Every structure is written in C-alpha cells, then in structure tokens.
Amino acid sequence: MDLYLFNTLTRKKEKFRPLKDKIVTMYNCGPTVYERPHIGNLRAYIFADTLRRTLEYNGYKVKQIINITDVGHLTSDADTGEDKIEKSAREKRKTAWEIARYFEKLFKEDIKKLNIKTPFKFPRATEHIKEMIELIKILEKKGYTYKISDGIYFDTSKFKNYGELSGLKKKQLLAGARVEFNPEKRNPTDFALWKFSPKDVKRQMEWPSPWGIGFPGWHIECSAMSMKYLGKTIDIHTGGIDHIDVHHTNEIAQSEAATGKKFVNYWLHVNFLRVEGEKMSKSLGNIITLEDIEKRGFHSLAYRYLVLTAHYRSEMNFTWQAMESAQNAYNLLLETISSFKLSVNLHKSASVQRSSVSKEILKIINDDLDTPRLIAKLWEVLRSDEDLGYKKIFVLEADKVLGLKLKEFLQKQKLPAEIKKKILLREKLRREGKWQEADKIREEVLKAGYKVEDTKQGPIIKKVVN
C-alpha cells in the first residue's frame, strides 16, 4: 500500500518513493544540549519515532540519525548572540563540556522512557569538526563564501533557489530578516559557516581552522553529519516548524551548493506544542519537562499517548487536564487489553488473518501518519463485538506503530492460580443459581486487583490499572 507524506518542500502530500528499494535514510535534527529537553522538544522526537515505525511497518529498514548539537547553536538566529552551551555553562557554573554531556544523557533517558527507538547513531557536532571544515573548504573553492570580521559567511545571493523550502520569495525573506542585521554581511539572509572565537572572551569550545580559531555554525553541522552518515542525497529530514525558514533553508543552500545534488527528497516538520495556550518560554516560567510530568504521578507513556492523539502537523495545546484524561485513557487501554491474556482459557477465539488487520492499519497510518485516527479506530475495535483474538491482533499490530508498550504489558499479565480457581468456582455457583455467593467471590477477586465482567461469551477478566 502506498505511503503518503506531507512534504514541506512541495506543500503537498506526496507518495513516498525512497532512493533505494528497501532502505530509507532519515536525519532528525537533534537537541541542543544546554538544558533538559522540554515536552515540546520531545514531541518532535515522538513524531520522528512514529515516522520511523510507520516506515518499518511498510517494510522498510530505516537508517536513522539524531545528531547532538553540542556547539554552535547561538541564542539568535541572526548569527549574533551567545553560544547556548557556553551561556548555560556560565550560568550553571560548569564547563561547557560538562553541560553538553549531562544534558545529552538526560535527553537519552527521556527518549528511552518515551519508548523512542535508538537511532543508528547519535553523532555529536564537536566530534565532526573536520568534516565541517572540509565542507566549508569546498564552498570556499566554489566561490560561495566570504570573510568578515567575525567569521566566514555563505553568500545566499549566489544560490539560485535560496528560500524554496519556506515558500517565500527571496525578497520577502530579505524583508522579514532580523533587525539585528550585521552591516558587514552582503545580504541579510547570509549566514555563518565558521565563527571566530571572540578576542576579549576565551571560549571553552574552539578549534583551529584554515580561517582562524573558532567554531562551526549550527547549520553546517547538520549538513556535514547528514552527508557523512547517510550520503549526499537522503530520503527524509525532520525538525520542528521553527527550523523551516532559517536552519533548514540554510542547510539546503550550503549542501546543494557544495555537492551540486539535491540534499533531501522529503522534508517533514512537526508543529509546535504550546502550554495552556502559550508559547513555552523561560520568561513565562511555563517550561514543562518529562520529569515534571512524572512528578505529578503521570506515566511517560501516557504523555506519548497524548501526543499521538494530535496529528503531527496540528498545533497541540498541552494542559494538565488533557494530561489527566490521557492517563485515564491509557490506563483504560491497559485494563481492557489485559483481558486478552487473562481470559484466554475461558474463551474460544477465531483465528484471525494478521494481514487483513495490518491492511486496515496501513490504510490509516499511510495517510500522512494519521495517529489520531488510528487511536480512534483502536477504541472502536476494542468496544466492538469482535472476538478477543481479533482484538488482540489489532492491538499488537497497532502498537508496532504507536509504540505504547502494549505488547510488553500484555506479556506480563498472568492470572494467579488462586484467582483462576475462584473465577471457575464463581462460574459454577452462577450455573447453580447461587448468586449471592458468586457476588461475594467477585468482590474478593476485585480486592485482589482483578475485575470480572460477565458477557454473552463468558466472563472477561481485567487487571485493575491505576
């Protein structure tokens, strides 16, 4: 079945055709490791993971890179301002290297809790300086660069299709460019490839280069690492919508100027998560992390569930009330599916064609990753009269895409022998019309953590989840 993805480059849902037959190359712009990621950043990686799972569900192998931005991302997109890592190090009285490694570790812990699969590699920018310098040298040779007092810049007027990704004409991009314009730049949209270390302050992260001691620009990092691990042209590159106008626009310009080849075939962007209707920001004091979510007693995977109930291209509004509803829904989901395992010997179930179930799932998910519809369908199936065998297969297949650890939960369920004995006894009592005694047993079983629900097909046993 064909897979359709919305490509920012063409502003259309396009049929996905990989460069190679069975392997997909995918680069996900990684975190800047100066703070613990917030739940908006994490939405971006839940999206990337869902995309990977969808590709895998379609039979592809995915070669995935999530880079670690541990140098060069400045506080302003206009190549002015401080390096976010060095600034955080100063504020937290740690070295830049300590900050970078510590927050990288927290990022990896968070994505693990969210059941995000481990990529092929997590390359660090600081370990690819050589590759970045090589790329800048090529651009220099081809005449795309110029030097000003604070660094080596890319001349965007020399790249014909500059700004294609953002859908804005070059003139509009120029007009919209930041006010904090560096008068030494030839064009407002020109950007730094290599920045010189300042003369007055000693930087902690700096390297020698043919142009002088300094550090790479943030955009060149992604181009260099993407080319190194995935090749000059790749299938998919992702990030948040904030990256479209500057970061990804610049990545395209410098990469295609250097190689003369198309850099990326499909650009996918995830919309923003807001908190109680506001943009998350330090000044508003409304930054929420996965740790905050857990501290309030919610499960990380309930956050993943919440994220998946919104389509990745819609803006999402996080509220604590929505988080609570997601947790309740996730608990109910676990409780409902626990019956598949616990009631299994008490029921007969028809054999189910796995392929017909996966077709149904593909029909939904291959429409630009429609996770909200897949979750709705999952509940529809669970509430239907279909037999448990069918429901079980549907849940297990859907979870390959959703990644909610439903399979793992199911595997852990086991009905303790004494509970099973009680349930069988209760059935006998009910057949004999001894309702009061049967009800008493139901109460006992509930106290032990299991619900018994009587249906036409027999009793259904569920584990109480809260």
Residue 242 in the binding site for ligand AMP (CB under 6 A): yes
Closest C-alpha among 37, 73, 66, 33 to residue 51 = 66
The total number of residues shown for the chain amounts to 466
What are the tokens at 153? 């810049």
- The answer to whether the beta carbons of residues 96 and 204 sit under 8 Å apart is yes
Residue 222 in the binding site for Zn ion (CB under 5 A): yes
The residue to which tokens 């239907």 are assigned: 384
In the complex with ligand AMP, which residue's Cβ is closer, 237 or 442?
237
Amino acid at 346: L
CA angle 186, 187, 193 (to 5 degrees): 80
Q: Is the dihedral of CA 41, 45, 48, 53 positive or negative?
A: negative
Residue 278, beta-bridge partner list: 275
CB of 34 to ligand AMP, least distance (A): 8
Q: How many residues bind ligand AMP (CB under 6 A)?
A: 16
Q: How many residues bind Zn ion (CB under 5 A)?
A: 2
d(CA 104, CA 110): 10
Query: Measured between alpha carbons, how far apart are the two ends of the chain, in Å?
Result: 39
Residue 44 in the binding site for ligand AMP (CB under 6 A): yes
Residues 291-310, mask of contacts with ligand AMP (x by CB under 6 A): --------------------
Applying CB under 6 A, the span of 35-43, 169-177, 249-257, 430-438 interacting with ligand AMP comes to 35-43
Residue 120's binding partner out of ligand AMP, Zn ion, none, with CB under 5 to 8 Å set by partner kind: none
Contacts for 229 with CB less than 8 Å, ≥ 6 apart: 63, 65, 120, 121, 123
In the complex with ligand AMP, which residue's Cβ is closer, 303 or 409?
303
Longest dimension (CA), the chain: 93
In the complex with ligand AMP, which residue's Cβ is closer, 239 or 459?
239
Residue 293 in the binding site for Zn ion (CB under 5 A): no
Residues 22-61, mask of contacts with Zn ion (x by CB under 5 A): -------x--------------------------------
Applying CB under 5 A, the span of 217-225, 271-279, 431-439, 456-464 interacting with Zn ion comes to 217-225
| From 5, 29, 100, 236, residue interacting with ligand AMP (rule: CB under 6 A) | 29
Contacts for 261 with CB less than 8 Å, ≥ 6 apart: 232, 233
Residue 193's binding partner out of ligand AMP, Zn ion, none, with CB under 5 to 8 Å set by partner kind: none
| From 7, 8, 25, 32, residue interacting with ligand AMP (rule: CB under 6 A) | 32
Residue 273's binding partner out of ligand AMP, Zn ion, none, with CB under 5 to 8 Å set by partner kind: ligand AMP
User: Strand 145-148 to strand 151-154: parallel, antiparallel, or no bridges (unpaired)?
Assistant: antiparallel
CA angle 176, 182, 186 (to 5 degrees): 80
Applying CB under 6 A, the span of 7-15, 38-46, 194-202, 456-464 interacting with ligand AMP comes to 38-46
Residue 135 in the binding site for Zn ion (CB under 5 A): no
| From 273, 290, 357, 364, residue interacting with ligand AMP (rule: CB under 6 A) | 273
Q: Could you give the 3-state DSSP secondary structure of residue 154? A: strand
| From 40, 119, 214, 217, residue interacting with ligand AMP (rule: CB under 6 A) | 40
Residue 243 in the binding site for ligand AMP (CB under 6 A): yes
User: Strand 151-154 to strand 191-196: parallel, antiparallel, or no bridges (unpaired)?
Assistant: antiparallel
Residue 240 in the binding site for ligand AMP (CB under 6 A): yes
d(CA 317, CA 306): 10
Enumerate binding residues for ligand AMP (CB under 6 A): 29, 31-32, 40-41, 43-44, 69, 239-240, 242-243, 270, 272-273, 280
Enumerate binding residues for Zn ion (CB under 5 A): 29, 222
